[in-house]
């Protein structure tokens, strides 16, 4: 039996298993957060190649924000990833929060992506 170093890793593995069972043939929106930045990327259905990526370190966002680790920055990342996905004709994704709780910055990013045209 594998011993988990923290609760987030356990949630992450449990969530990835559920996503793999439900989301056959759909793109996956993966979110990662650190204390200072937010990252979001859309992965290919089968090969797990990155199709679209956005973060608070992107040129489009970095100049307009003071701090990359707050809700306002997460909203901008969600908007950017949704607009880039529209350009690639991606409308429906599965939301993978990587074991992070659906609260605060992760929720703000998801709501912003939904408002800008992504369905999940």
Q: Which letter, b or e, does each residue of 15-51 get, where b requires 16 or more Cβ atoms within 10 Å of its Cβ?
A: beeebeeebeeebbbbbbbeeebbbbbbbeeeeeeee
Degrees (nearest 5) of the Cα angle 60, 52, 20?
140
Position 45 in a domain: yes
Position 12 in a domain: yes
In CATH, what number is assigned to the domain containing residue 19? 3.30.420.100
What pLDDT does 2 receive? 63
Position 2 in a domain: no
Q: What span, in angstroms and rounded, lies between the C-alpha atoms of 90 and 52?
A: 10
Domain of 36 in residue numbering reads as: 7-115
Q: What span, in angstroms and rounded, lies between the C-alpha atoms of 113 and 48?
A: 20
Structure tokens belonging to residue 66: 């003071």
Position 20 in a domain: yes
Instruction: Walk along the chain (120 residues) and give the pLDDT tens digit of each residue.
Output: 466 678 888 899 888 888 888 877 889 999 999 999 999 999 987 788 999 999 999 998 998 999 999 999 999 999 999 999 999 999 999 999 999 999 999 999 999 999 999 998
Report the predicted TM-score, pTM, of the whole model to 2 decimal places: 0.89
| Secondary structure of residue 25 in the 3-state scheme | coil
What pLDDT does 20 receive? 84
Position 71 in a domain: yes
Q: What span, in angstroms and rounded, lies between the C-alpha atoms of 13 and 19?
A: 10
What pLDDT does 3 receive? 64
Position 29 in a domain: yes
Strand partners, 30: 41, 96
Position 106 in a domain: yes
Q: What span, in angstroms and rounded, lies between the C-alpha atoms of 16 and 106?
A: 17
What pLDDT does 94 receive? 93
Domain count, the chain: 1
Position 31 in a domain: yes
């Amino acid at each position: 039996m594998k011993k988990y170093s923290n609760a987030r890793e356990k949630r992450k593995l449990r969530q990835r298993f559920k996503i793999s069972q439900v989301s056959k043939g759909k793109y996956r929106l993966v979110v990662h957060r650190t204390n200072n930045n937010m990252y979001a990327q859309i992965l290919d259905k089968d090969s797990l190649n990155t199709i679209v990526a956005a973060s608070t370190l992107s040129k489009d966002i970095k100049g307009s924000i003071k701090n990359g680790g707050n809700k306002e920055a997460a909203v901008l990342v969600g908007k950017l990833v949704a607009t880039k996905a529209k350009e690639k004709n991606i409308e429906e994704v599965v939301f993978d929060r990587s074991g992070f709780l659906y609260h605060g910055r992760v929720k703000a990013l998801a709501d912003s992506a939904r408002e800008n045209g992504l369905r999940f």
